[in-house]
Amino acid sequence: MENIKIITTKEEYRNALNFIEELVDRDPESGTVDGDRLLLLTALVKDYESKSFPENLPDPIEAIKFRMEQADLKPSDLIPYVGSAGRVSEILSGKRQLSLDMVRSLSTGLGIPAKVLIQKSNNASESENWDTTLVKAMERRGYFGNKTIKDFGKSELVSNFFATFNQPQPAALYRKTIFRKAPRTDNNSLLAWGTRVLQKATEIQVPIKYKKGTVDLPFMRKVVQLSTKATGPLLAQKYLGEHGIKLVIEPHLPKSHLDGATFFADKDNPIIGLTIRHDRPDNFWFTLMHELAHVALHYEMNIEYFFDEELQNKDGEENDQKEIEADALAEEAILPKSKWETSAAKTTPNQFSTEDLANELQVNIAVIAGMIRFKHQNFFYLNKIVNNPDLSVQKYFADVFKE
C-alpha cells in the first residue's frame, strides 16, 4: 500500500484497512508522512464504504453514551480511555473531538467500530443545514416564541429550541425509536414535531399515573365508541387523561407524512401525539387506536418512541412486527373480525350495510366506512360518508389549526 490510490475492489479495501490499523498503532503526528497517509487512506476508505456499503452511522458521542448505557458505565469509567475526568466531560458534551489515540482505545475497550468514532460529532452548527421551509414552519407555529429567522438565524433558533427544553438530539432520540416512515420524510421534521409534542405535554396536568394494563381491547372499544358523541375527540382526550395518558394535538410539519406517535419516555404518563393530517373521523380514530395499541402492547419494552406515518393507506408491506401488532389490535378495537365476517358490508359495501354495522358496534358511521374501505383496499367506496365536510375533527382543536 505504499502507492496509495482510489479503492475499487474488496481486496484493495481490505488491504487499506490493514494499513490503516498499522498506521493507527504508530500514532503518527499530524503533518508527518504517516499522518498524511492515514488521513488520505481514511478518506479513500470512507469513499469506498459510502458507495459499497451505504449506511447511516450514529453520531460518535451518542454511540459512546449508548455503549455506556448498555454496560452500565459511569463517566469516570471512561478515564482510562481518554486520560482525565475533564476530557471525559468535554467529549461527552461535544466540546472536544476524539483523537486517534482515543478512537483506538475506545474502539478496543468499548467495542465501538472505529469507523463510527472517527466521524466528526454533530454540533450546533449543523442546525444551519436544516431545511429553511421546515424552520419557517416551526417559526409560524410558535416553536421559537417571538424569535424569528431574520433576527437570529436558523442555527441559533434550532439549537436553542432543543437546548431550552433539554430534549435529545437526533442520534439520542432515534436509538430507542420505532419508525413507520415514508421514504421521502425529513428526519428533522419528525424530531422537531416530537419535541414540540413533549413540550406541550408538560403543560397538561392529569390526575393520576398510568397503571400498567389499563389499556386493553375493552378499554380501546370504549374509547372508539365516543366517536358517536357530538364532541367525541374532546371526550376521548378527557377520558385518556383520567387514566394517566396525555393526548396532544400538533399539526405535522413539512416533509413529513406523520399521523401520530406514542412516547414512553415518561412511564408515569404515556403521551400520544396526533397530527389530524387528514381531517376525517376515520383517520383520527384509527390513528388513536393504533397509538393506544402501542400502549397496550409495548408499554414495558425498551422503546421510548413510536413514530407512525401513512397509517391507513400504506405503500408496500409493513415489515416491523410491533407495527403489525398495533395495526391488528386497532382494527379489532374498531371493527371486530367476528362482526366483519358476518356483515353484509363485507360483500355489499353501501350506505345501508355500513349504517347497520356502525349501529351494531356503536361507532361513528364515518369511522366504520373508513375501515370498510381499508378492508377492501378500495378508497373510492363510501366517499360521501368518509369525506363529509361536516365531520371535521380539526374544528375541536381550533387553537392549534389557526395557521
Q: Would 1 be classed as within a structural domain?
A: no
Output the nine-digit C-alpha cell for 97: 473531538
Range of the domain at 142: 125-166
pLDDT of the residue at 313: 58
d(CA 266, CA 134): 27
Looking at the structure, tell me whether residues 74 and 191 fall in a common domain.
Answer: no
Looking at the structure, tell me whether residues 198 and 280 fall in a common domain.
Answer: yes
Q: Would 354 be classed as within a structural domain?
A: yes
Length of the chain counted residue by residue: 403
Q: Would 3 be classed as within a structural domain?
A: no
**58-to-61, 99, 167, 256, 272 alpha-carbon distances in Å:** 8, 18, 17, 22, 27
Q: Would 2 be classed as within a structural domain?
A: no
φ and ψ of 178, to 5 deg = -105, 125
d(CA 104, CA 114): 7
Q: Would 319 be classed as within a structural domain?
A: yes
pLDDT of the residue at 124: 40
pLDDT of the residue at 333: 98
Q: Would 281 be classed as within a structural domain?
A: yes
pLDDT of the residue at 4: 82
Q: Would 85 be classed as within a structural domain?
A: yes
State the Cα angle at 148 between 146 and 152, rounded to 5°.
Answer: 115
Number of domains in the chain: 4
pLDDT of the residue at 369: 96
Cβ atoms within 10 Å of 381's Cβ, excluding its own: 19
Looking at the structure, tell me whether residues 291 and 208 fall in a common domain.
Answer: yes
d(CA 33, CA 400): 61
> Which one, of 69, 68, 99, lies nearest residue 84 by Cα?
99
CATH code of residue 81: 1.10.260.40
Looking at the structure, tell me whether residues 153 and 240 fall in a common domain.
Answer: no
Residues 168 and 198: beta-carbon distance below 8 Å: no
Output the nine-digit C-alpha cell for 204: 397538561
Looking at the structure, tell me whether residues 104 and 134 fall in a common domain.
Answer: no
pLDDT of the residue at 38: 81
pLDDT of the residue at 131: 86
pLDDT of the residue at 266: 84
Looking at the structure, tell me whether residues 189 and 211 fall in a common domain.
Answer: yes
pLDDT of the residue at 275: 96
Residue pLDDT tens, the chain, 403 long: 457 888 888 788 778 877 887 777 777 777 788 878 888 888 888 777 676 654 556 678 888 888 888 788 888 899 998 888 878 877 887 667 777 778 888 888 888 887 778 766 554 445 667 888 999 999 999 999 998 888 888 877 887 787 766 554 444 444 456 667 666 788 889 889 999 999 999 999 999 999 999 999 999 999 999 999 999 999 999 999 999 999 999 999 988 889 999 999 888 999 999 999 999 999 999 999 999 999 999 998 877 788 888 776 555 555 578 899 999 999 999 999 999 999 999 999 999 999 999 999 999 999 999 999 999 998 889 999 999 999 999 999 999 997 6
DSSP 167: P
Looking at the structure, tell me whether residues 332 and 219 fall in a common domain.
Answer: yes
Looking at the structure, tell me whether residues 205 and 250 fall in a common domain.
Answer: yes
Looking at the structure, tell me whether residues 323 and 236 fall in a common domain.
Answer: yes
pTM assigned to the model:
0.68
pLDDT of the residue at 216: 98
Looking at the structure, tell me whether residues 196 and 158 fall in a common domain.
Answer: no
Looking at the structure, tell me whether residues 216 and 137 fall in a common domain.
Answer: no
Q: Would 195 be classed as within a structural domain?
A: yes
Looking at the structure, tell me whether residues 284 and 315 fall in a common domain.
Answer: yes
Output the nine-digit C-alpha cell for 295: 400502549
